[in-house]
Structure 1
Amino acid sequence: MVSSTSSLVFKFLTLTLCLWFLFGTTSGQLSANFYARTCPNFRSIITRAVNSAVSNEARMGASLLRLHFHDCFVNGCDGSVLLDDTANFTGEKTANPNSNSLRGFDVIDTIKTQLERQCPGVVSCADLLAAAARDSVVALRGPSWNVVFGRRDSTTASLSTANSNLPSPTESLSNLISTFSNLGFTTNEMVALSGAHTIGQSRCTVFRNRLYNENNINSTFATSLRANCPSSGGDNNLSPLDSTPTTFDNRYFNDLISQRGLLHSDQELFNGGSTDAQVRTYASNAATFSRDFASAMVKMSNLSPLTGSSGQVRTNCRRTN
């Protein structure tokens, strides 16, 4: 009898361990296989949709990556950035760094609709953002990284935290270091993550002051930009963040060395300060940048996720259930 009981216990523990490795945990932890049983095709659904969106508009890759950044930097990767304002609720979309700036919400809506059709109420908006960010970088010929899943969605948002936690394009180097350090990032990781600006574009209103009032900018570069960004007017006119804005490469760092950083905060990374050497390293070694960026993205995408029974899985990313 004892032998039979021991055998059953052993078999049960073995089965439990096998299921843990196969499917991941479902409470309090993230796993690469979190949706293996509940939505096995979710990754291919997201990847196809992201590839289609980026193919239609290459800039969308940068926009989807930025959505993930702006989600994770405000109380963790919980999908809060996607929540719309209501009569009784104020989300993060109208925060100064987000208003008239964040985009790609319609792409997220499309992907979420496809996921809900395939696996109703299963894949969270926070996980969707994490996967879409990785797929966007890959679609623009950048590095890949392992994304783990199991994040749940917040039922709240924080306008004030979005205004205080998200780095500004006018930040000094010391403020950038402090902002990232407050979230647990080293200075090296901050520089690597700033390399996300190797793709995408920015509005004239964000960099106008640099064009007309700063000295650490290549004069030919500044002159060429002023044609599209006058000293007044044209606030929404766009300029690329680096000279190859639809390819995820290390060109951003080469541009900084040439004093062709578009944003004040960009050029701060190469302006006689403590990060100059790292910028030179990334400018001369694309593989090192790709490796460090991927590693920093893994860390960022795991900032304070809601797991287990916390939060919810929103069926519409724009509102709570």
Structure 2
Amino acid sequence: MSITAAMVKELREKTGVGMMDCKAALTETNGDMEAAIDWLRTKGLAKAAKKADRVAAEGLVGVASEGTKAAVVELNSETDFVARNEAFQALIAGTSQAALAVDGDLEALASSTFPGSSKSVSDTIKDAIATIGENMSLRRSAALSVSSGAVATYVHSAIADNLGKIGVLVALESEGDAAEVAAFGRKIAMHVAATNPLSLGVEDLDQDVVERERQIFSEQARESGKPENIIEKMVEGRLRKFYEEVTLTKQAFVIDPDNTVEQAVEAFAKTLGKPVKLTGFVRYALGEGIEKEQTDFAAEVAAAVGS
């Protein structure tokens, strides 16, 4: 039987499953709509689709490293409880490893092969949704690498090796001892976890952010009634202070507040006896930017009692 686009569309509307999966289901069942739905359910796809509208803002951030490369991944679930499920932890650990091979590219990661399996990362996650019974979402991934040196990793609020609520990568280029560079990089990664800088340096800052701050500082300074030339100096002074707060290299180093991160790197390079360059960082905090559904538990209980 010929499978038409209209049939695929109808099955997709009934199940919420992707077009390619719907076409495969109809092909397998010779166009029988109800049998196709059952086929999708046996594969766990229809179950996963029905959960797809539920907010997944919990879960875990995972990191993985190998040689001079490291990757970080965020995999979301609906509840924090699932984050303590060993199967979910194994899922994100494997996904983090897979991210290394694709340089953190999210689309490539989804279609890449899950370690120790013949299935893709995307299909492995679908299987886990059906097994664990919660919506899950592979939200983002990133990787950093250096030609020599180390990409240090750090996980804050870890609940298992390399899995937790905040994951950080810090890349340091150096010809010095890799183990020493990695140990120092971990200290910077801990700093990044604590301070959440907006960028590596001043030149990397989003210019829209800088301009917005400049406008705010200008309006504040003009309220003083001082001349324009004085206002300009006031604004530049406040911008310098802003840079010290939000750029990694200019921030006071948490472990040694008398020095900036930039100065700490210079001091470490002298101790190491080799140049060291801080080339990048990535910081993922679980669920940041996701609008979580707010529930009033007391209201829910009252409604249940009254029904």
TM-score (norm 2): 0.24
Work out which structure has the larger RCO, using CA pairs closer than 8 Å and 6 or more positions apart in sequence. 1
More strand by share: 2
Greater CA radius of gyration, 1 or 2? 2
